[in-house]
Structure 1
Amino acid sequence: MGSIPPNQGPDPSLVYRPEGHPEAAKDKGSFRNYTHAQFRSFSYKRMAVLEAVDMLDRLVDESDPDVDFPNSFHAFQTAEGIRQAHPNKDWFHLVGLLHDLGKVLALAGEPQWAVVGDTFPVGCRPQASVVFHDSTFQDNPDLQDPRYSSDLGMYQPHCGLENVLMSWGHDEYMYQVMKFNNFSLPPEAFYMIRFHSFYPWHTGGDYRHLCSEQDLAMLPWVQEFNKFDLYTKCPDLPDVGQLRPYYQGLIDKYCPGVLSW
C-alpha cells in the first residue's frame, strides 16, 4: 500500500496567521509568515533512520511528564509493545520506532514549544479539549475575527484533515519527511505519525465536523497506536543492542538508505 496522497491544501509547515491562507485574504503583505523553510526543504541533514533514533538520546521531552529518559528508549519501548500485541504487522512495529523522530527538530535549534506537545487545527475556533484551552488562546486576535472564530473557521464541513492547517510540531515534520523520502508504509502508518499528538481529535472527540470518511476510517488506527505510545513508558529500558538488527530489517524494507531531513 502507498502513502497518503500529498496535501491538496496549503503547506502545513508554514505556521502563519490564517489570513495568509490562499482562500482568505489576497493581500499577502498583511499577515505574518513564520516559515520553517530549512526543514520543509529537507536540507537540514542526511542520515539513516537509526542515526535519527540515536540522536534522540540527547533529548528529554519537557512536555512529557511520563518520560524522564531519552526518547530513543521510548521509541524502542513503543515499538516492542506494538510488536507483542500485533506480531503480524511489521509495518506497525516500525511506526512505533519512527513516531517521535520529528523531535530531532529540537536538536536542530527549534524551541521545544514549537516541536513537542499536543497539536490542533489553526484557522478555526479551538475546541474545548485543546490543552490549556482557557489560558492559551485568550489573547489570540483571531478569536475576535469572524472569519476564524467559528467552529468551521476558514474550512468547509467535512473537508478532510488533509486540507486542514495543523499547528507545527514533530508530528507534521516527520510526516513530511516520510512523504519526501517515499516511505513504502500503508496509509494507516502515515495517519498514526501525523496525528498521534492530535489529542483533541483522537481522544477528546472534537473536530469531527472537519473529518472526511477517510479520516474517520483511520481514527481507530490512531487510537490503537496511542495505547502503546502512552502505556509502554516505564523505567525498565529495553536492550537496544539486541533489538537493532530486527528494526534495521524493517527499515531496509520500508525506508532504506540515507534519508533527507
Structure 2
Amino acid sequence: MRILAENQIDLLDPSELLRPEPTFADKNPSKFRDYTVDAADPLKERVRQTYRQMHLNQTVDFVMGRRNRWLKFNTMKMTVREALEKLNDLVDESDPDLDLPNIVHAFQAAERARLEFPEHDWLHLTALIHDLGKVMAFYDEPQWAVVGDTFAVGCRWGDSIVYREDSFVGNPDGNNPKYNTDYGIYQPNCGIDNLLMSWGHDEYMYNVLKHNNTKLPDVACNIIRFHSFYPWHNGGDYKHFEAPEDAETKKWVLIFNRYDLYTKSETVPDIESLWPYYQSLIDKYLPGVLEF
C-alpha cells in the first residue's frame, strides 16, 4: 500500500487495511478489541462498565450539553507537548488492549505511521495527537464521556456497537420516536460529518484543532474526528447516511487505524529521544499555546 499524494491512495480491498503485517502487532490480531464478558477479569469488567455508563447516559440532550460546556474553549491553555505529557497520568478505562499511560500509545502509533510513510509528516503528527482530547478526563469529565468507541445519537443505535445487546437499556432516547428510527433526526445520505456524535475525545479534539486554526490538512482533522467511530468504518453501520465524499474519509481512517490499533503493546518507545522530531511537527502544524 502506498499513498501517491495527499488526496490520492491506491485502491485497496478494505479487508487489507484492517489486516496487519506481522510487524504491526505483538499478538494475534484476533486478540485485539476483545469485548467478551468475564466478571472475574478486572480489566474486562472495567471496560464493560465504562461502556455501560456511556450507553446509558449518552443522549441527544447530554451531547448538546457537553458541546455547550466544552466548545467555549475556556477550560485550559497549554501547548501540545504539555497536553501530551498530561496523558502520562491517564489509563483509558475503555481499552481492552493496553493498560499503559496514553502517551505511550500516542508515540507507538506515531512511530508506526512514520515508518510506513516517512514522507507524510502530517500523518505522523495526526497519530501523535489523535487521542489528545482525552485531557477532558482531568477536568471533571467522566471517562465514559471521554474515551471509547463513538456512535451517532439522534437515530437508532448501530447493531455493531460493542455490548449493543443490553448496554443501552434505560437510555431514554431508545423510547423516543424522534430518535429511535433508522434515520431519526437526519436525512438520507446527509453525510457522516453532519451526524451528532456521542461526546468524547474525537469530537472534542477535532473542534480544538479547528478553533486553534491548525495547519493540518482537513483529512487529518477528519481522521481524528472519526477514528473511534468503529460502528461505521469497521462495523458497516450508518451507511444510509453516507455521502460520496465520505468514501475518502473512511479510506484514510482505515489506514490510520492500522497504527491506532495494531501498535498497542507493552513495548515502550524512547519518548525523550523522539521529542525533537515531533516538536518540529508541532511547530509546523499546531504551534504555540492552544485554547482547550
TM-score bracket, normalised by the shorter chain, equals 0.7 to 0.9
CA distance in structure 2 between the partners assigned to 1:236 and 1:32 by the alignment: 36
2:257 to 210, 216, 226: 226
CA distance in structure 1 between the partners assigned to 2:212 and 2:117 by the alignment: 26
What corresponds to 1:168 in structure 2? 199
1:150 aligns with 2:178: no
| 1:205 to partner: Cα distance | 1.1
What corresponds to 1:134 in structure 2? 165
What corresponds to 1:64 in structure 2? 95
| 1:257 to partner: Cα distance | 0.7
Give deviations 1:115-137, integer Å, cap 9, x for gaps: 01110000110111011111122
1:93 aligns with 2:114: no
1:202 to 227, 233, 240: 233
Conserved 8 A contact 1:119-1:198: yes
Q: Which amino acid aligns with 1:199?
A: Y
CA distance in structure 2 between the partners assigned to 1:33 and 1:191 by the alignment: 20
Matched positions, count: 237
What corresponds to 1:48 in structure 2? 79
CA distance in structure 2 between the partners assigned to 1:197 and 1:188 by the alignment: 15
What corresponds to 2:39 in structure 1? none
CA distance in structure 2 between the partners assigned to 1:136 and 1:104 by the alignment: 26
Gaps of 5+ in 1: 2-14, 21-30
Q: Identity of counterpart residues, as a percentage?
A: 54
Give deviations 1:194-222, integer Å, cap 9, x for gaps: 01110001110111111111112210100
| 1:36 to partner: Cα distance | 4.7
| 1:16 to partner: Cα distance | 7.7
1:258 aligns with 2:289: yes
Q: Which amino acid aligns with 1:91?
A: W
Conserved 8 A contact 1:196-1:222: yes
Give the 3-state SS of the residue equivalent to 2:118 in structure 1: coil
CA distance in structure 1 between the partners assigned to 2:188 and 2:76 by the alignment: 39
Conserved 8 A contact 1:120-1:167: yes
Give deviations 1:13-52, integer Å, cap 9, x for gaps: xx9854x6xxxxxxxxxx9963354421111111110110
RMSD: 1.9
CA distance in structure 2 between the partners assigned to 1:154 and 1:147 by the alignment: 7
Gaps of 5+ in 2: 1-5, 7-56
Give the 3-state SS of the residue equivalent to 2:65 in structure 1: strand
**Cα gap change, 1:209 to 1:33, in 2 (>3 Å):** closer
CA distance in structure 2 between the partners assigned to 1:192 and 1:16 by the alignment: 22
| 1:163 to partner: Cα distance | 1.5
CA distance in structure 2 between the partners assigned to 1:238 and 1:175 by the alignment: 26
TM-score (norm 2): 0.77
Give deviations 1:35-74, integer Å, cap 9, x for gaps: 3544211111111101100000010111112111111111
Give deviations 1:160-215, integer Å, cap 9, x for gaps: 12221000001011001000001111121111100111000111011111111111
**Cα gap change, 1:148 to 1:247, in 2 (>3 Å):** same
CA distance in structure 2 between the partners assigned to 1:16 and 1:91 by the alignment: 32
What corresponds to 1:39 in structure 2? 70
Conserved 8 A contact 1:38-1:44: no
Conserved 8 A contact 2:110-2:124: yes
